[in-house]
Amino acid sequence: MNAPVAPSRMNLPGSSHAASGNALELRGISKTFGALAAISDVTLSVKPGERRAVLGSNGAGKTTLFNCITGDFLPTAGLIRFFGEDVTVFPPYERIRRGLRRTYQISSLFSGLSVLDNVYLACRGVSRNRFSLIRPRADDALVNAAEMLVEAVHLTGEKDRLVGELAYGQQRQLEIALALSGAPRFVLFDEPAAGLSPTERRDLIHILTSLPSHIGYIIIEHDMDVALRVVESVTMMHNGRIFKEGRPEEIEDDPEVQELYLGGGHG
């Protein structure tokens, strides 16, 4: 867990996972808020190293699904397995310590701390001595790991600046660095391209496609050009239910899907 990472070459160390079984398995997940069913009966499995997009209009329940997977909400019904282990009722930090990561749709960072401190916290969160009162030395493995991650998302020049002062695009990059800290096995990206410029989008695609092959992920993304280029499978959601699954080209060509989502002149 504590090993330094070298994300510039994107060979993040991973724990060896069982050859068989799924990285993530959802069975019959439902979540209701009062009378409103945000997601109902979602069954989904993702193999280790698999990359998948979850598409759907606003309110289709995608972010709620992420919140159930990370444990921000407990699902009303259903079962969640992470690398074979039943994590349905685990608190968020227990899931994170098992290699699950996520990014947030709206940048969710520590605005009062520096860029490096943000990444350092992310590295510290999944290692030991979270309660240590001893300052890290300059050659501390986690500090080095954090510096490398900062470099991997092209923020070395800003590493001592307060995050609250960063530009929007830079905050999005930092958001990704936080999700790649430690030894991630599976990452949930929540609209990572939202609000990025075309150049920044190309950078993002590069970062995503050059992730080590054992890291699987699910990406929620409205920009089809980004989403369909970085995944090998697609799940379409509609009104909180799974509506179609397939390979990117199948989904793109599906007339029903086109009518529902792609025809409407998406960005």
* Nearest-angstrom CA–CA distance, 162 and 252: 42
* Nearest-angstrom CA–CA distance, 218 and 234: 9
By the 8 A CB rule, do 111 and 118 touch?
Answer: no
Q: Is 180 exposed, middle or buried (0-12, 13-18, 19+ CB in 10 A)?
A: buried
Distance of CA 35 to the CA centre of its chain: 29
By the 8 A CB rule, do 183 and 13 touch?
Answer: yes
> Cβ closer to another protein: 70 or 235?
70
> Cβ closer to another protein: 5 or 257?
5
> Cβ closer to another protein: 67 or 238?
67
CB of 21 to another protein, least distance (A): 23
Report the C-alpha dihedral over residues 55, 59, 63, 68, rounded to 10 degrees: -110
Q: Which residue, 82, 72, 73, is CA-closest to 186?
A: 82
**Strand, coil or helix: 13:** coil
**Segment (H or E) for 51:** strand 51-55
> Cβ closer to another protein: 132 or 199?
132
CB of 108 to another protein, least distance (A): 5
> Cβ closer to another protein: 108 or 209?
108
> Cβ closer to another protein: 58 or 160?
160
* Nearest-angstrom CA–CA distance, 58 and 209: 26
CB of 128 to another protein, least distance (A): 10
Please report the sign of the dihedral spanned by the C-alpha atoms of residue 144, residue 150, residue 152, residue 154.
negative
CB of 72 to another protein, least distance (A): 7
> Cβ closer to another protein: 179 or 251?
179
CB of 246 to another protein, least distance (A): 30
CB of 22 to another protein, least distance (A): 22
CB of 93 to another protein, least distance (A): 5
**Contact set with another protein (CB under 8 A):** 70, 72, 91-93, 96-97, 101-102, 104, 108-114, 116-117, 120-122, 124-126, 129-136, 138, 140, 143, 146-147, 159-160, 178, 181-182
**Segment (H or E) for 220:** strand 216-220
> Cβ closer to another protein: 130 or 247?
130
CB of 260 to another protein, least distance (A): 29
* Nearest-angstrom CA–CA distance, 88 and 100: 13
Residues composing the chain: 267
